[in-house]
Amino acid sequence: MTRFSAPIAEQIWDMKYRLKGPDGAAIDGTIEDTWRRIARALAAVETDPALWEERFYQALEDFKYLPAGRITAGAGTGRAVTLFNCFVMGTIPDSMAGIFDMLKEAALTMQQGGGIGYDFSTIRPRGAEVKGVAADASGPLSFMDVWDAMCRTIMSAGSRRGAMMATMRCDHPDIESFIEAKQDAARLRMFNLSVLVTDPFMEAVKADGPWDLTFGGRVYKTLNARDLWNKIMRATYDYAEPGVIFIDRINKMNNLRYCETIAATNPCGEQPLPPYGACLLGSVNLARLVTNPFEADAELNPQALDELVRLAVRMMDNVVDASRFPLEAQAQEAQAKRRIGLGVTGLADALLMLGLRYGSEEAATQTEAWMKAIARASYLASVDLAKEKGAFPLFDAEKYLASGNMMQMDEDVRDAIRTHGIRNALLTSIAPTGTISLYAGNVSSGIEPVFAYAYKRKVLQKDGSRTEEEVVDYAVKLWRDKFGDKDLPDYFVNAQTLPPLDHVRMQAAAQKWIDSSISKTINCPEDISFDDFKEVYMAAWDQGCKGCTTYRPNDVTGSVLSVSETSEKAPEAETGAEVVYLAEPLDRPQALEGNTYKVKWPDSEHALYITINDIVIAGHRRPFEVFINSKNMEHFAWTVALTRMISAVFRRGGDVSFVVEELKAVFDPRGGAWMQGKYIPSILAAIGGVIERHLVSIGFIEGEGMGLKEDPSAKVAVMGAPRGPACPSCGAFEMRMVEGCMTCGSCGHSKCS
């Protein structure tokens, strides 16, 4: 018997969370071993480890409490990785030396697996005078390009690539360039972008008044506030970025406003953090707590919820002491405030089990009630911890109770804090849970609606055969188990058919009792008018949200998988659709076609010879292996290593064009070279250029700096809708925006989780 409800869940566990040795052999034999490893590691800081290990194990068992991926993958492994998910780095100084000191800190943080956020508003605008060197400043966007290149070269912990958030204030002189930056398809691909929108700006927008762009006390430009707002909206409407963060509201509602100012968030926006702020994440699986689902007496067990939340808070508090930190400043910040971010997943499924339509007023009311219950249990659990272990070091009862969310907290909770203190300054946050939700049985993600009731997932096996598995939403599976082929009720809705303002209603309902913020994507139909689209953001502002992220599928952002609201059938793919995810690498055929290219690097005695061989699958040619040879023995070790690594990636299938991007982004600190009229930053970048030209020549990618070539015969027809973008990890055409980050519905790949 297995605890996993679907093969995909076990595959994700094996790929992302299962502890393995250096040789790839499994150390965690079962999921129970993983739960035991985590429980033991987090109980190690307790005075009675054996007692708390057992209680923590019970919380983890059957996916009731889901620590974030970094905890699940890293706790108890002995590896030098951080268990914290989110970091906001230090304030960037407006000096060349200070900027590159910050770049170094970012690299060290990402190397250990942390996603980071930065406010670039502190860097002087482009064209501003740089005193003492008779030059003009290049502006914050030029330095963002440097950060982007750094991120491309660093792999985060496990199989995750680092993610970054860049913010800029709405009154910075370069804000218009910031808004348009990612309209260049090749620029800032490692960043999510968000504009820090202030209360005075929103008042100016509503009043149709003027707005000054300033830096260092100087007004650089005055424009119409509504025109700037429309520019933000138009960019988001067409390109899905930048997001909007209502920064003054965040600071006003911060429990720690008496000792910190926030100007940035982590990559998905659910954690607004001060300089060097860090936060860890975890989620209570609401779908597992509902009794008698789909019956008249269905309910989410309040006692079970209270007990689970209290255990989760204790576990997360222990992570603060058990985790490593990339920088000492981050460790000090975490210890001083002991911030945690407990959230939920499976909300939409839990609502369905109670017969509530996601987005309805009744569902919003129930959501608010659940969030309040979680907040109360969290704060009271933290008070109990303060009695036992002490309050967080910067706790000041009078100031704390007069700040942020504490102003609306129930009086009995306020009295308990006043008397005993509190262990954790902030406790609640709703994070992206795309991967851990699949791992937990494909429960609905975070507070998002169900994305699809079911879908087919095809896997190409080593022998060329194809297996097909159905991935079914958790609540839909329960319905099928209980009622067989009976049609789903009308209250089953999904993300694509839900009106955008219903999304906003749910986000606002949850936000009221979340002391940090919420990662949430408001899916908008492709044909939504620009005026209606703008209304979504204004509704988010009017209803008290701390930010807003939308996704409107179009030719630029890509289409997304969709299913009809009344159908529970899994979407089907046309037979011409290419299956590019490989469960195992393909065997090498006896003969392959290929080409050999010569690269002569300046100042090198011997040339490199690069051979690229291709394989034909379903009539389409794609790269299969690479060989790199040179008479220069200085290159021998790294060329062999590169050959093996690239060939291994090619043989796994999928959109492997990212290999080109990674190689071309590598720069040599000793300097690059000019080749055929272009500056090439390193010999590795030159190899990347050769591979790119080959992929263009065989029709695998569209052109230099471009993605996969469109192949009409390989399109997927899903309920009449075009396919989504290809996943860079598994190749499935199921990338979709989930909680502010493009996420694969097939393998769970996301750069943000």
For the annotated catalytic residues, the residue numbers are 266, 268, 270
Helices (H), 166-243: 175-180, 199-207, 225-239
Give 678's contacts (C-beta < 8 A, 6+ positions apart).
Answer: none
CA distances from 622 to 583, 647, 693 (A): 17, 12, 13
Q: Which residue is listed with tokens 């407990």?
A: 342
CA distances from 55 to 34, 51, 66, 94 (A): 15, 7, 14, 49
Report cis status (omega within 30 of 0) of the bond before 22.
no
Catalogue the E-assigned strands of 35-122. Answer: 65-67, 86-88, 115-119
- Report the interhelical angle of 636-652 vs 683-697 (nearest 10°): 30
Token code pair at residue 601: 């690097």
| DSSP H or E run through 514 | none
Q: How many residues does the chain have?
A: 753
Beta bridge partners of 459: 467
CA distances from 735 to 313, 525, 560, 675 (A): 33, 16, 7, 37
How far is the C-alpha of 167 from the C-alpha of 681, rounded, in Å? 28
Q: Is 429 left (phi over 0), alpha (psi -120 to 50) or beta?
A: beta
In angstroms, the first-to-last Cα distance of the chain is 29
Largest Cα span, the chain: 80
Give 303's contacts (C-beta < 8 A, 6+ positions apart).
Answer: none
According to DSSP, the β-strands at 340-345 and 278-285 are parallel
Helices (H), 94-157: 96-111, 140-152
In this structure, is the dihedral angle defined by the CA atoms of residues 42, 44, 48 and 54, taken in order, positive or negative? Answer: positive
Q: Is 706 left (phi over 0), alpha (psi -120 to 50) or beta?
A: beta
